Amino acid sequence: MQRLALQIITGAGFIYGGVLSHSTGQLALFLSLASCAGMTYLQYRSATSKEIYKKALESTLGPDFKQSIDPNRQAVLRTGSSIKDWARPFDMKRTGVKRITNISYGDAAKRRNLLDIYQPTAAREGGYPVLLQVHGGAWIIGNKEQQALPLMYHLAQRGWICISINYRLSPTATFPDHIVDVKKAIAWIRQNISEYGGNSDYFAITGGSAGGHLSSLAALTPNKAEFQPGFEDLDTSIDAAVPFYGIYDFLDRHHILGSMGMEKQLAKLVFKSSPQEQPELWDSMCSESQINSKAPPFFIIHGTHDSLAFEEAGEAFANALGASSENPVAYASVEGAQHAFEIFHSLRTENTINAVTEFLEWSYADKKRKPI
What is the per-residue pLDDT across 183-205, written as a single tens digit (0 to 9) for each?
999 999 999 999 999 999 999 99
Spatial separation of the C-alpha atoms in residues 370 and 128, rounded to whole Å = 19
What is the per-residue pLDDT for 34? 53
Same domain, 35 and 182: no
177 counts as catalytic? no
Do the bridges between strand 114-120 and strand 97-104 make them parallel or antiparallel, or are there none, so unpaired?
A: antiparallel
Does the annotation count 366 as an active-site position? no
Confidence band (pLDDT; 50, 70, 90) for 298?
very high
Annotated active-site residue in 164, 170, 209, 289: 209
Q: In terms of domains, do 11 and 105 share one?
A: no
Among 32, 68, 252, 339, the active-site one is 339
Question: Residues 301-315: pLDDT tens digits?
Answer: 999 999 999 999 999
Q: Are residues 188 and 210 in the same domain?
A: yes
Q: Is the pLDDT of residue 38 over 60?
A: no
Span 235-263, average pLDDT: 92
pLDDT at residue 262, rounded to an integer: 87
**Of 205, 103, 99, 203, nearest in space to 153 by CA:** 99
**Amino acid identity for residue 115 in this structure:** L
The model's pLDDT over 73-131, given as tens digits with 9 standing for 90+, comes to 999 999 888 888 878 889 999 999 999 999 999 998 677 999 999 999 999 999 999 99
**Whether 254 is catalytic:** no
pLDDT at 39: 46
Residues 78 and 8 in one domain: no
Cβ atoms of 336 and 45 within 8 Å: the answer is: yes
| Set 306, 333, 363, 366: catalytic member | 306
Model confidence at 268: pLDDT above 70: yes
CATH number of the domain bearing residue 350: 3.40.50.1820
> Are 105 and 134 contained in the same domain?
yes
The range of the structural domain enclosing residue 27 comes to 2-40
Looking at the structure, tell me whether residues 36 and 56 fall in a common domain.
no
Same domain, 118 and 32: no
Residue 199 shares a structural domain with residue 250: yes
Percent of the chain scoring above 70 in pLDDT:
86
Residues 21 and 79 in one domain: no
Shared-domain flag, residues 363 and 291: yes
Q: How many domains, the chain?
A: 2
> What local confidence, expressed as pLDDT, does residue 41 receive?
45
Instruction: Give me the phi and psi of 7, to 5 degrees please.
Output: -65, -40
**Looking at per-residue confidence, does 10 or 106 come out higher?**
106
pLDDT confidence band for 5 (50 / 70 / 90): low
Residue 143 has pLDDT above 80, yes or no: yes
Residue 36: pLDDT over 80: no
- Concatenate the DSSP letters of all residues of 168-191 into one string: --TTTS-TTHHHHHHHHHHHHHHH
pLDDT at 26: 56
Which residues contact residue 289 at a Cβ distance below 8 angstroms, ignoring those fewer than 6 apart? 249, 251, 283
Q: Indicate if 115 and 33 belong to the same structural domain.
A: no
Write down the H helix ranges in 269-346.
279-284, 311-324
Query: What is the Cα gyration radius of the chain?
Result: 22
Q: Which tops the pLDDT comparison, 16 or 57?
A: 57
pLDDT at 261: 80
pLDDT given at position 4: 47
- Averaged pLDDT, 205-224: 98
Helices (H), the chain: 2-16, 23-47, 49-61, 71-74, 83-86, 149-157, 177-192, 210-220, 263-266, 279-284, 311-324, 347-369
pLDDT tens column, 235-244 = 999 999 999 9
- pLDDT of amino acid 83: 84
Q: Is pLDDT at 6 greater than 90 in this prediction?
A: no
- pLDDT beyond 90 at 260: no
Do 52 and 33 share a structural domain? no
